[in-house]
Structure 1
Protein backbone atom coordinates (compact mmCIF):
# COMPACT_ATOMS: atom_id res chain seq x y z
CA UNK A 1 0.00 0.00 0.00
CA UNK A 2 1.48 3.33 -1.05
CA UNK A 3 1.95 6.13 1.46
CA UNK A 4 -0.36 9.15 1.17
CA UNK A 5 1.10 12.23 -0.46
CA UNK A 6 2.18 15.10 1.75
CA UNK A 7 0.37 18.35 0.96
CA UNK A 8 3.54 20.46 1.18
CA UNK A 9 5.77 18.41 -1.13
CA UNK A 10 2.88 17.65 -3.49
CA UNK A 11 2.18 21.38 -3.78
CA UNK A 12 5.91 21.99 -4.25
CA UNK A 13 5.92 19.50 -7.15
CA UNK A 14 3.33 21.63 -8.97
CA UNK A 15 5.44 24.76 -8.47
CA UNK A 16 8.70 23.10 -9.47
CA UNK A 17 7.08 21.45 -12.49
CA UNK A 18 6.01 24.85 -13.79
CA UNK A 19 9.57 26.13 -13.43
CA UNK A 20 11.00 23.08 -15.21
CA UNK A 21 8.57 23.56 -18.09
CA UNK A 22 9.36 27.26 -18.37
CA UNK A 23 13.13 26.74 -18.53
CA UNK A 24 13.40 23.35 -20.28
CA UNK A 25 9.98 23.01 -21.99
CA UNK A 26 9.43 19.50 -20.62
CA UNK A 27 5.66 19.27 -20.00
CA UNK A 28 5.35 15.53 -19.28
CA UNK A 29 5.96 14.18 -15.78
CA UNK A 30 7.05 10.55 -15.60
CA UNK A 31 6.82 10.11 -11.83
CA UNK A 32 6.82 11.99 -8.53
CA UNK A 33 7.63 11.20 -4.93
CA UNK A 34 6.01 13.45 -2.35
CA UNK A 35 5.33 11.37 0.76
CA UNK A 36 7.84 13.20 2.96
CA UNK A 37 7.04 16.73 4.19
CA UNK A 38 10.71 17.77 4.00
CA UNK A 39 11.83 16.47 0.61
CA UNK A 40 10.50 15.22 -2.70
CA UNK A 41 11.30 14.14 -6.23
CA UNK A 42 9.93 14.84 -9.69
CA UNK A 43 10.99 12.99 -12.84
CA UNK A 44 10.18 14.50 -16.26
CA UNK A 45 10.49 13.37 -19.85
CA UNK A 46 13.65 14.97 -21.27
CA UNK A 47 14.85 14.40 -24.83
CA UNK A 48 18.20 16.18 -24.77
CA UNK A 49 21.38 14.13 -24.56
CA UNK A 50 23.04 16.94 -22.62
CA UNK A 51 22.74 17.28 -18.87
CA UNK A 52 21.48 20.74 -17.80
CA UNK A 53 24.21 23.03 -16.50
CA UNK A 54 24.38 24.30 -12.93
CA UNK A 55 23.23 27.72 -14.16
CA UNK A 56 20.13 26.18 -15.74
CA UNK A 57 19.31 24.27 -12.55
CA UNK A 58 19.69 27.49 -10.55
CA UNK A 59 17.35 29.28 -12.97
CA UNK A 60 14.73 26.57 -12.40
CA UNK A 61 15.11 26.88 -8.63
CA UNK A 62 14.91 30.68 -8.81
CA UNK A 63 11.73 30.52 -10.90
CA UNK A 64 10.12 28.11 -8.46
CA UNK A 65 10.92 30.35 -5.50
CA UNK A 66 9.67 33.40 -7.39
CA UNK A 67 6.28 31.71 -7.69
CA UNK A 68 6.39 30.89 -3.98
CA UNK A 69 7.04 34.57 -3.21
CA UNK A 70 4.10 35.57 -5.40
CA UNK A 71 1.90 33.47 -3.10
CA UNK A 72 -0.33 32.18 -5.90
CA UNK A 73 -3.55 30.41 -4.99
CA UNK A 74 -3.89 26.68 -5.60
CA UNK A 75 -7.26 26.44 -7.35
CA UNK A 76 -8.67 22.97 -6.77
CA UNK A 77 -11.90 22.09 -8.57
CA UNK A 78 -13.85 19.21 -10.09
CA UNK A 79 -14.68 19.08 -13.78
CA UNK A 80 -16.37 16.72 -16.20
CA UNK A 81 -13.62 14.72 -17.87
CA UNK A 82 -14.68 15.38 -21.46
CA UNK A 83 -15.15 19.09 -20.81
CA UNK A 84 -11.74 19.34 -19.13
CA UNK A 85 -10.00 17.52 -21.97
CA UNK A 86 -11.61 19.71 -24.62
CA UNK A 87 -10.92 22.95 -22.75
CA UNK A 88 -7.28 22.38 -21.84
CA UNK A 89 -6.25 20.86 -25.17
CA UNK A 90 -6.81 24.28 -26.67
CA UNK A 91 -5.88 26.25 -23.54
CA UNK A 92 -2.63 24.77 -22.29
CA UNK A 93 -1.32 26.26 -19.05
CA UNK A 94 2.39 27.06 -19.42
CA UNK A 95 2.45 24.56 -22.31
CA UNK A 96 1.11 21.87 -19.96
CA UNK A 97 -1.93 19.61 -20.42
CA UNK A 98 -3.96 18.14 -17.56
CA UNK A 99 -2.39 14.67 -17.91
CA UNK A 100 1.17 13.51 -17.50
CA UNK A 101 2.28 9.92 -18.07
CA UNK A 102 0.12 8.76 -15.17
CA UNK A 103 -2.78 6.70 -16.52
CA UNK A 104 -6.25 7.85 -15.50
CA UNK A 105 -8.73 4.96 -15.71
CA UNK A 106 -11.41 5.38 -18.37
CA UNK A 107 -14.01 4.71 -15.68
CA UNK A 108 -13.19 8.08 -14.09
CA UNK A 109 -15.66 10.60 -15.52
CA UNK A 110 -15.05 13.51 -13.13
CA UNK A 111 -11.55 14.90 -12.65
CA UNK A 112 -10.05 16.81 -9.75
CA UNK A 113 -7.84 19.52 -11.22
CA UNK A 114 -5.24 21.71 -9.54
CA UNK A 115 -4.29 24.97 -11.25
CA UNK A 116 -1.77 27.70 -10.58
CA UNK A 117 -2.70 30.59 -12.84
CA UNK A 118 -0.49 30.72 -15.95
CA UNK A 119 1.96 28.31 -14.29
CA UNK A 120 0.69 24.74 -13.91
CA UNK A 121 -2.38 22.56 -14.42
CA UNK A 122 -2.67 18.92 -13.45
CA UNK A 123 -5.18 16.21 -12.72
CA UNK A 124 -4.33 15.49 -9.08
CA UNK A 125 -6.65 14.16 -6.33
CA UNK A 126 -4.16 14.73 -3.47
CA UNK A 127 -4.48 17.40 -0.76
CA UNK A 128 -2.81 20.75 -1.45
CA UNK A 129 -1.93 23.94 0.36
CA UNK A 130 -4.02 27.10 -0.09
CA UNK A 131 -1.21 29.19 -1.59
CA UNK A 132 2.33 28.71 -2.84
CA UNK A 133 3.67 30.93 -0.05
CA UNK A 134 2.82 28.22 2.48
CA UNK A 135 5.48 25.95 0.96
CA UNK A 136 8.40 27.95 2.36
CA UNK A 137 11.09 27.52 -0.27
CA UNK A 138 12.43 24.90 -2.67
CA UNK A 139 16.06 23.87 -2.94
CA UNK A 140 17.12 21.52 -5.74
CA UNK A 141 19.66 19.21 -4.11
CA UNK A 142 20.44 16.98 -7.06
CA UNK A 143 19.45 15.76 -10.51
CA UNK A 144 19.70 12.41 -12.26
CA UNK A 145 19.95 12.52 -16.05
CA UNK A 146 18.99 9.25 -17.77
CA UNK A 147 19.52 9.87 -21.51
CA UNK A 148 18.78 6.24 -22.43
CA UNK A 149 15.33 6.56 -20.86
CA UNK A 150 14.93 10.20 -21.90
CA UNK A 151 14.30 11.21 -18.31
CA UNK A 152 15.53 13.92 -15.97
CA UNK A 153 14.92 13.58 -12.24
CA UNK A 154 15.00 16.46 -9.77
CA UNK A 155 15.44 15.90 -6.02
CA UNK A 156 14.47 18.80 -3.81
CA UNK A 157 14.25 19.84 -0.17
CA UNK A 158 11.65 22.08 1.45
CA UNK A 159 13.33 25.04 3.16
CA UNK A 160 12.28 27.86 5.50
CA UNK A 161 9.74 30.44 4.44
CA UNK A 162 10.82 33.22 2.12
CA UNK A 163 10.22 36.86 2.99
CA UNK A 164 8.14 39.45 1.17
CA UNK A 165 5.35 37.16 0.04
CA UNK A 166 2.59 38.73 -2.00
CA UNK A 167 -1.02 38.68 -0.85
CA UNK A 168 -2.97 36.12 -2.95
CA UNK A 169 -5.09 37.67 -5.69
CA UNK A 170 -8.27 36.28 -4.14
CA UNK A 171 -7.47 38.03 -0.87
CA UNK A 172 -6.52 41.46 -2.25
CA UNK A 173 -8.44 44.26 -0.60
CA UNK A 174 -8.68 42.33 2.65
CA UNK A 175 -6.58 43.19 5.66
CA UNK A 176 -3.71 40.76 6.08
CA UNK A 177 -3.99 38.53 9.11
CA UNK A 178 -1.44 39.00 11.87
CA UNK A 179 1.22 36.29 12.18
CA UNK A 180 0.12 33.38 14.31
CA UNK A 181 1.48 33.57 17.82
CA UNK A 182 3.51 30.72 19.19
CA UNK A 183 1.48 28.32 21.32
CA UNK A 184 1.99 28.88 25.04
CA UNK A 185 3.77 26.08 26.85
CA UNK A 186 2.20 25.23 30.18
CA UNK A 187 5.40 25.11 32.21
CA UNK A 188 3.61 24.90 35.55
CA UNK A 189 2.41 21.41 34.70
CA UNK A 190 5.86 19.99 33.92
CA UNK A 191 6.54 16.57 35.44
CA UNK A 192 9.62 14.39 35.70
CA UNK A 193 9.25 13.27 32.07
CA UNK A 194 9.92 16.88 31.07
CA UNK A 195 13.52 16.46 32.19
CA UNK A 196 14.07 14.05 29.28
CA UNK A 197 16.25 15.79 26.67
CA UNK A 198 14.65 14.09 23.65
CA UNK A 199 11.14 14.94 24.87
CA UNK A 200 12.03 18.60 25.44
CA UNK A 201 13.86 18.87 22.14
CA UNK A 202 10.72 17.72 20.33
CA UNK A 203 8.59 20.24 22.26
CA UNK A 204 10.93 23.05 21.19
CA UNK A 205 10.97 21.87 17.56
CA UNK A 206 7.15 21.71 17.53
CA UNK A 207 6.98 25.18 19.04
CA UNK A 208 9.23 26.71 16.38
CA UNK A 209 7.60 24.88 13.45
CA UNK A 210 4.10 25.91 14.53
CA UNK A 211 5.00 29.60 14.64
CA UNK A 212 4.40 31.59 11.45
CA UNK A 213 6.06 34.81 10.33
CA UNK A 214 9.48 36.20 9.48
CA UNK A 215 12.67 35.06 11.20
CA UNK A 216 12.56 38.07 13.51
CA UNK A 217 8.91 37.44 14.43
CA UNK A 218 9.59 33.78 15.16
CA UNK A 219 12.57 34.66 17.36
CA UNK A 220 10.60 37.30 19.25
CA UNK A 221 7.72 34.92 19.87
CA UNK A 222 9.55 31.69 20.68
CA UNK A 223 12.79 32.62 22.48
CA UNK A 224 11.10 33.81 25.72
CA UNK A 225 9.05 30.61 25.90
CA UNK A 226 12.05 28.40 25.19
CA UNK A 227 14.04 30.19 27.90
CA UNK A 228 11.14 29.74 30.31
CA UNK A 229 10.88 26.07 29.42
CA UNK A 230 14.60 25.47 30.00
CA UNK A 231 14.54 27.41 33.27
CA UNK A 232 11.66 25.30 34.52
CA UNK A 233 13.54 22.20 33.38
CA UNK A 234 16.56 23.21 35.46
CA UNK A 235 14.47 23.99 38.53
CA UNK A 236 12.47 20.77 38.22
CA UNK A 237 15.66 18.74 37.88
CA UNK A 238 17.33 20.35 40.89
CA UNK A 239 14.20 20.03 43.01
CA UNK A 240 14.05 16.30 42.33
CA UNK A 241 17.75 15.72 42.87
CA UNK A 242 18.81 14.63 39.39
CA UNK A 243 20.13 16.06 36.16
CA UNK A 244 18.60 15.93 32.70
CA UNK A 245 18.50 12.46 31.15
CA UNK A 246 19.73 11.70 27.64
Structure 2
Protein backbone atom coordinates (compact mmCIF):
# COMPACT_ATOMS: atom_id res chain seq x y z
CA UNK A 1 0.00 0.00 0.00
CA UNK A 2 1.42 3.38 -1.01
CA UNK A 3 1.92 6.09 1.57
CA UNK A 4 -0.61 8.91 1.75
CA UNK A 5 0.75 12.09 0.22
CA UNK A 6 0.82 15.22 2.33
CA UNK A 7 -0.91 18.22 0.69
CA UNK A 8 1.92 20.59 1.60
CA UNK A 9 4.89 18.67 0.23
CA UNK A 10 2.85 17.33 -2.69
CA UNK A 11 2.05 20.91 -3.67
CA UNK A 12 5.72 21.76 -3.22
CA UNK A 13 6.66 18.98 -5.66
CA UNK A 14 4.43 20.51 -8.34
CA UNK A 15 5.96 23.95 -7.76
CA UNK A 16 9.50 22.62 -7.68
CA UNK A 17 8.92 20.51 -10.79
CA UNK A 18 7.99 23.63 -12.75
CA UNK A 19 11.19 25.30 -11.57
CA UNK A 20 13.30 22.29 -12.57
CA UNK A 21 11.74 22.28 -16.04
CA UNK A 22 12.33 26.03 -16.37
CA UNK A 23 16.01 25.85 -15.36
CA UNK A 24 17.13 22.41 -16.56
CA UNK A 25 14.55 21.53 -19.22
CA UNK A 26 13.79 18.13 -17.68
CA UNK A 27 10.02 17.49 -17.97
CA UNK A 28 9.78 13.88 -16.77
CA UNK A 29 9.49 13.05 -13.07
CA UNK A 30 11.04 9.72 -12.10
CA UNK A 31 9.72 9.63 -8.53
CA UNK A 32 8.56 11.79 -5.64
CA UNK A 33 8.42 11.49 -1.89
CA UNK A 34 5.84 13.73 -0.26
CA UNK A 35 4.30 11.96 2.70
CA UNK A 36 5.97 14.23 5.28
CA UNK A 37 4.65 17.72 6.11
CA UNK A 38 8.04 19.43 6.11
CA UNK A 39 10.38 17.31 3.98
CA UNK A 40 10.13 15.90 0.48
CA UNK A 41 12.04 14.66 -2.52
CA UNK A 42 11.70 15.14 -6.26
CA UNK A 43 13.65 13.02 -8.75
CA UNK A 44 13.61 13.84 -12.45
CA UNK A 45 15.06 12.21 -15.53
CA UNK A 46 18.33 13.97 -16.31
CA UNK A 47 20.34 12.65 -19.24
CA UNK A 48 23.74 14.21 -18.64
CA UNK A 49 27.03 13.12 -17.14
CA UNK A 50 27.52 16.62 -15.74
CA UNK A 51 25.83 17.42 -12.44
CA UNK A 52 23.77 20.63 -12.42
CA UNK A 53 25.81 23.48 -10.97
CA UNK A 54 25.20 24.99 -7.54
CA UNK A 55 24.16 28.15 -9.36
CA UNK A 56 21.44 26.26 -11.22
CA UNK A 57 20.21 24.65 -8.01
CA UNK A 58 19.94 28.11 -6.45
CA UNK A 59 18.04 29.28 -9.53
CA UNK A 60 15.62 26.36 -9.16
CA UNK A 61 14.97 27.31 -5.54
CA UNK A 62 14.51 30.97 -6.47
CA UNK A 63 12.13 30.20 -9.36
CA UNK A 64 10.08 27.91 -7.12
CA UNK A 65 9.74 30.52 -4.41
CA UNK A 66 8.80 33.17 -6.95
CA UNK A 67 5.76 30.98 -7.68
CA UNK A 68 5.11 30.67 -3.95
CA UNK A 69 5.18 34.47 -3.63
CA UNK A 70 2.88 34.83 -6.64
CA UNK A 71 0.22 32.93 -4.66
CA UNK A 72 -1.19 31.20 -7.74
CA UNK A 73 -4.21 28.89 -7.51
CA UNK A 74 -3.89 25.14 -7.99
CA UNK A 75 -6.65 23.98 -10.27
CA UNK A 76 -7.76 20.36 -9.73
CA UNK A 77 -10.15 18.89 -12.30
CA UNK A 78 -11.19 15.69 -14.04
CA UNK A 79 -11.00 15.08 -17.77
CA UNK A 80 -11.58 12.26 -20.19
CA UNK A 81 -8.26 10.52 -20.69
CA UNK A 82 -8.16 10.70 -24.48
CA UNK A 83 -9.25 14.34 -24.44
CA UNK A 84 -6.58 15.21 -21.86
CA UNK A 85 -3.84 13.38 -23.75
CA UNK A 86 -4.74 15.15 -26.98
CA UNK A 87 -5.08 18.59 -25.42
CA UNK A 88 -1.89 18.53 -23.36
CA UNK A 89 0.18 16.94 -26.08
CA UNK A 90 -0.70 19.77 -28.43
CA UNK A 91 -0.59 22.50 -25.75
CA UNK A 92 1.93 21.56 -23.10
CA UNK A 93 2.11 23.56 -19.87
CA UNK A 94 5.70 24.79 -19.38
CA UNK A 95 6.87 22.02 -21.74
CA UNK A 96 5.48 19.40 -19.34
CA UNK A 97 3.29 16.43 -20.27
CA UNK A 98 0.57 15.14 -17.94
CA UNK A 99 2.33 11.84 -17.18
CA UNK A 100 5.48 11.10 -15.26
CA UNK A 101 7.91 8.27 -16.01
CA UNK A 102 5.30 5.67 -15.08
CA UNK A 103 1.96 6.47 -16.77
CA UNK A 104 -1.52 5.81 -15.43
CA UNK A 105 -2.84 2.26 -16.08
CA UNK A 106 -4.73 1.89 -19.37
CA UNK A 107 -7.85 0.84 -17.46
CA UNK A 108 -8.26 4.39 -16.13
CA UNK A 109 -10.43 6.39 -18.54
CA UNK A 110 -10.90 9.58 -16.52
CA UNK A 111 -7.88 11.50 -15.24
CA UNK A 112 -7.57 13.80 -12.24
CA UNK A 113 -5.27 16.66 -13.18
CA UNK A 114 -3.64 19.42 -11.14
CA UNK A 115 -2.51 22.58 -12.89
CA UNK A 116 -0.62 25.70 -11.91
CA UNK A 117 -1.23 28.00 -14.85
CA UNK A 118 1.74 28.31 -17.21
CA UNK A 119 3.92 26.47 -14.69
CA UNK A 120 3.03 22.83 -14.13
CA UNK A 121 0.43 20.20 -14.93
CA UNK A 122 0.35 16.61 -13.79
CA UNK A 123 -1.97 13.69 -13.44
CA UNK A 124 -2.28 13.54 -9.65
CA UNK A 125 -5.28 12.34 -7.59
CA UNK A 126 -3.84 13.49 -4.24
CA UNK A 127 -5.04 16.45 -2.18
CA UNK A 128 -3.27 19.79 -2.64
CA UNK A 129 -3.27 23.26 -1.14
CA UNK A 130 -5.55 25.84 -2.73
CA UNK A 131 -2.81 28.34 -3.54
CA UNK A 132 0.96 28.26 -3.89
CA UNK A 133 1.29 30.99 -1.28
CA UNK A 134 -0.13 28.69 1.40
CA UNK A 135 2.99 26.58 1.39
CA UNK A 136 5.68 28.64 3.12
CA UNK A 137 9.19 28.63 1.66
CA UNK A 138 10.83 25.80 -0.30
CA UNK A 139 14.44 25.26 0.72
CA UNK A 140 16.57 22.78 -1.25
CA UNK A 141 18.72 20.96 1.30
CA UNK A 142 20.51 18.47 -0.92
CA UNK A 143 20.90 16.95 -4.37
CA UNK A 144 22.02 13.64 -5.81
CA UNK A 145 23.13 13.15 -9.40
CA UNK A 146 22.92 9.55 -10.64
CA UNK A 147 24.24 9.58 -14.22
CA UNK A 148 24.11 5.79 -14.48
CA UNK A 149 20.34 5.97 -13.93
CA UNK A 150 19.98 9.28 -15.78
CA UNK A 151 18.41 10.88 -12.71
CA UNK A 152 18.77 14.03 -10.66
CA UNK A 153 17.30 14.17 -7.17
CA UNK A 154 16.43 17.24 -5.12
CA UNK A 155 15.63 17.02 -1.42
CA UNK A 156 13.77 19.92 0.11
CA UNK A 157 12.26 21.29 3.29
CA UNK A 158 9.29 23.54 3.88
CA UNK A 159 10.27 26.37 6.20
CA UNK A 160 8.45 29.44 7.47
CA UNK A 161 8.89 32.88 5.96
CA UNK A 162 10.11 34.12 9.36
CA UNK A 163 12.84 31.47 9.46
CA UNK A 164 14.02 32.43 5.98
CA UNK A 165 14.05 36.13 6.85
CA UNK A 166 15.99 35.42 10.05
CA UNK A 167 18.55 33.34 8.15
CA UNK A 168 18.89 36.04 5.49
CA UNK A 169 19.33 38.71 8.17
CA UNK A 170 22.09 36.65 9.80
CA UNK A 171 23.83 36.19 6.45
CA UNK A 172 23.56 39.91 5.69
CA UNK A 173 24.98 40.77 9.11
CA UNK A 174 27.90 38.39 8.63
CA UNK A 175 28.58 39.81 5.16
CA UNK A 176 28.52 43.40 6.40
CA UNK A 177 30.86 42.54 9.28
CA UNK A 178 33.33 40.95 6.86
CA UNK A 179 33.12 43.92 4.51
CA UNK A 180 33.73 46.32 7.41
CA UNK A 181 36.71 44.29 8.60
CA UNK A 182 38.24 44.38 5.13
CA UNK A 183 37.61 48.11 4.78
CA UNK A 184 39.07 48.82 8.22
CA UNK A 185 42.19 46.88 7.31
CA UNK A 186 42.49 48.70 3.99
CA UNK A 187 42.10 52.05 5.76
CA UNK A 188 44.74 51.07 8.30
CA UNK A 189 47.20 50.10 5.59
CA UNK A 190 46.46 53.32 3.72
CA UNK A 191 47.06 55.41 6.83
CA UNK A 192 50.30 53.62 7.56
CA UNK A 193 51.48 54.01 3.97
CA UNK A 194 51.12 57.81 4.24
CA UNK A 195 52.51 58.16 7.75
CA UNK A 196 55.93 59.75 7.26
CA UNK A 197 57.29 58.50 10.55
CA UNK A 198 56.35 54.90 9.79
CA UNK A 199 57.59 55.16 6.20
CA UNK A 200 60.93 56.57 7.39
CA UNK A 201 61.26 53.75 9.89
CA UNK A 202 60.54 51.20 7.18
CA UNK A 203 63.13 52.80 4.85
CA UNK A 204 65.75 52.47 7.58
CA UNK A 205 64.82 48.82 8.15
CA UNK A 206 65.11 48.07 4.43
CA UNK A 207 68.47 49.86 4.23
CA UNK A 208 69.94 47.98 7.19
CA UNK A 209 68.59 44.63 6.01
CA UNK A 210 70.04 45.02 2.51
CA UNK A 211 73.47 46.56 3.09
CA UNK A 212 75.02 43.93 0.85
CA UNK A 213 72.39 44.27 -1.85
CA UNK A 214 71.81 47.92 -2.68
CA UNK A 215 69.80 47.06 -5.79
CA UNK A 216 67.22 45.18 -3.73
CA UNK A 217 67.10 48.00 -1.18
CA UNK A 218 66.53 50.59 -3.90
CA UNK A 219 63.72 48.50 -5.44
CA UNK A 220 61.91 48.03 -2.12
CA UNK A 221 62.30 51.67 -1.11
CA UNK A 222 61.10 52.85 -4.55
CA UNK A 223 58.02 50.66 -4.19
CA UNK A 224 57.38 52.05 -0.72
CA UNK A 225 57.73 55.65 -1.91
CA UNK A 226 55.46 55.04 -4.89
CA UNK A 227 52.79 53.74 -2.53
CA UNK A 228 53.31 56.84 -0.38
CA UNK A 229 52.97 59.10 -3.40
CA UNK A 230 49.87 57.40 -4.82
CA UNK A 231 48.02 57.21 -1.52
CA UNK A 232 48.97 60.79 -0.70
CA UNK A 233 47.42 61.95 -3.96
CA UNK A 234 44.29 59.93 -3.20
CA UNK A 235 44.12 61.59 0.22
CA UNK A 236 44.47 65.08 -1.23
CA UNK A 237 48.26 65.05 -0.76
CA UNK A 238 47.87 65.10 3.00
CA UNK A 239 50.62 63.06 4.62
CA UNK A 240 50.42 62.68 8.37
CA UNK A 241 53.12 62.61 10.99
CA UNK A 242 51.88 60.86 14.08
CA UNK A 243 53.07 62.05 17.45
CA UNK A 244 53.77 59.20 19.79
Name which one, 1 or 2, has greater alpha-carbon Rg: 2
Q: Which residue does 1:7 correspond to in 2?
A: 7
> Does structure 2 conserve the Cα–Cα contact (< 8 Å) formed by 1:69 and 1:132?
yes
How far apart, CA to CA, are the structure 1 residues paired with 2:132 and 2:73? 6
Q: Which residue does 2:229 correspond to in 1?
A: none
- Residue 48 of structure 1: CA displacement? 1.3
How far apart, CA to CA, are the structure 1 residues paired with 2:3 and 2:99? 22
Q: Which residue does 2:41 correspond to in 1?
A: 41
Q: Which residue does 1:147 correspond to in 2?
A: 147
Unaligned residue ranges in structure 2 (runs of 5+): 167-244
Q: Which residue does 2:232 correspond to in 1?
A: none
- Residue 63 of structure 1: CA displacement? 0.2
How far apart, CA to CA, are the structure 1 residues paired with 2:96 and 2:46? 14
Give the TM-score of the pair, scaled to structure 2. Answer: 0.66
Detail structure 1 runs of 4+ shifted over 3 Å in the superposition: none
- Residue 2 of structure 1: CA displacement? 2.2
Q: Which residue does 1:16 correspond to in 2?
A: 16
How far apart, CA to CA, are the structure 2 residues paired with 1:101 and 1:30? 5
How far apart, CA to CA, are the structure 2 residues paired with 1:161 and 1:74? 20
Q: 1:73-222 counterparts in 2 under 5 A?
A: 73-161=73-161
Is the partner of 1:140 in helix, strand or coil? strand
Deviation per CA, 1:110-153, whole angstroms, max 9, x where unpaired?
00000000000000000000000001010000000000110000
Q: Aligned residue pairs: how many?
A: 165
Q: Which residue does 2:171 correspond to in 1?
A: none
Deviation per CA, 1:60-108, whole angstroms, max 9, x where unpaired?
0000000000000000000000000000000000000100112311110
How far apart, CA to CA, are the structure 2 residues paired with 1:2 and 1:109? 21
How far apart, CA to CA, are the structure 1 residues paired with 2:38 and 2:150? 27
> Does structure 2 conserve the Cα–Cα contact (< 8 Å) formed by 1:113 and 1:123?
yes
C-alpha RMSD over aligned residues: 1.6
Give the TM-score of the pair, scaled to structure 1. Answer: 0.65
- Residue 161 of structure 1: CA displacement? 3.5
> Does structure 2 conserve the Cα–Cα contact (< 8 Å) formed by 1:133 and 1:161?
no
